[in-house]
Amino acid sequence: MHCLKNRFRYSVGTSLSAPPNLLYCDHAVIAHGILTMSSSAPQSNSPSFTTAVLPIALGCSMLFTQPASADKVLQSTSEQTTLIELFTSEGCSSCPPADKWLSQFKHDPNLWKTVIPIAWHVDYWDYIGWQDSLAQPEFADRQRQLAAEGLISSVYTPGFVLNGQEWQGWFKQPSLPKTPAKPAGILSATLQDQQVQVKYSGPIQALEFHLVTLGFDVITKVQQGENAGKTLTHNFVVLTHVKSTSDSNQTKLTLAKKLSTAHQAQAVVVWVNAKGTLPPLQTVGGWLRD
């Protein structure tokens, strides 16, 4: 079955489930092209992680976060950052090329500055036995909500969304379209131990803030579906998602204290949208350590 041609539509209205908890490493530092705080953490250009349960170096606690020595700050520019959302599934034969294309941004000099990719693994192929170990029901709910708002034509994998709008150009020419810079408010996120203080400089209005944690170099052995028997590597994988609404252009999001030992968060992404609609106004993100 080709996952693009055989598109399925789903009803809208399923409430988002509470996200699982997440894991951090002590000495973690967020690095960003605009503002980076120093740390005693060892330097590394690209974090890695697999689904295997392995000893974690750098003094990581498998269950609890160690307090950071200083606040970690991420800040966008005054131009809109491009948020790339990929809806994907391990069981779909069309998805590995899309996952591989998304992974290239890990080494892109514009990562976190002008472009931020994230990959939502969906669960709606599970009913035919194509279980995705990285999927959560709320991730598919977001895609259904995009369809309900008319921002995408239908629910399918692989599905790309750029700043809240469907992008089918990847299937013809897998390179980001060139668009003129769009002015936007400045979005900042300050990590203070378990809290993330988020502020947006745009016009004051009812806003919805989102925070996701990402995993990288996630290696899985697919047991069922069109990719059965293959070993796949995923990057920019959404592990957890929390959100909050505010009428004052700022909010505080709480990071959970623990996560399954099979998953380790390597980066965070925050975006903001007007309440009641999904396209992001601005996005910011960065590594949890250098």
List, for residues 179-237, the tens digit of each pLDDT value. Answer: 899 999 999 999 988 789 999 999 999 999 999 999 999 999 998 889 999 999 999 99
Cα 83 to Cα 220: distance, rounded to the nearest angstrom: 25
- Does the structure show a pLDDT above 60 at 134? yes
* pTM score of the predicted model: 0.76
Tens of pLDDT, residues 66-75: 444 478 999 9
Taking the mean position of all CA atoms in its chain, how far away is CA 92?
20
What is the share, in percent, of the chain residues with pLDDT greater than 70? 73
Identify each DSSP E strand in 10-134 by its residue range.
72-75, 82-88, 115-121
What pLDDT does residue 192 have? 86
Q: What is the mean pLDDT of residues 163-172?
A: 96
Helix H or strand E encompassing 63? none
**Strand ranges in the chain using DSSP code E only, listed in sequence order:** 72-75, 82-88, 115-121, 159-162, 165-166, 187-192, 195-200, 207-215, 218-221, 231-234, 237-246, 250-254, 267-274, 282-287
- pLDDT of 23 reads 34
* 148-152 own/partner pairs: CB under 8 Å, 24+ apart: 148/12, 149/277, 149/278, 151/278, 151/279
User: What is the 8-class DSSP label of residue 246?
Assistant: E
Residue-averaged pLDDT of the chain: 79
Q: Which residues contact 208 (CB under 8 A, 6 or more apart)?
A: 243, 244, 245, 272, 273, 274, 275
Residue 246 CB-half CA count within 13 A: 18
List the beta strands (DSSP E) in 67-194: 72-75, 82-88, 115-121, 159-162, 165-166, 187-192
Is 158's pLDDT higher than 70? yes
Instruction: State the pLDDT confidence band at 256, using cuts at 50, 70 and 90.
Output: low
Say yes or no to pLDDT of 45 above 50. Answer: no
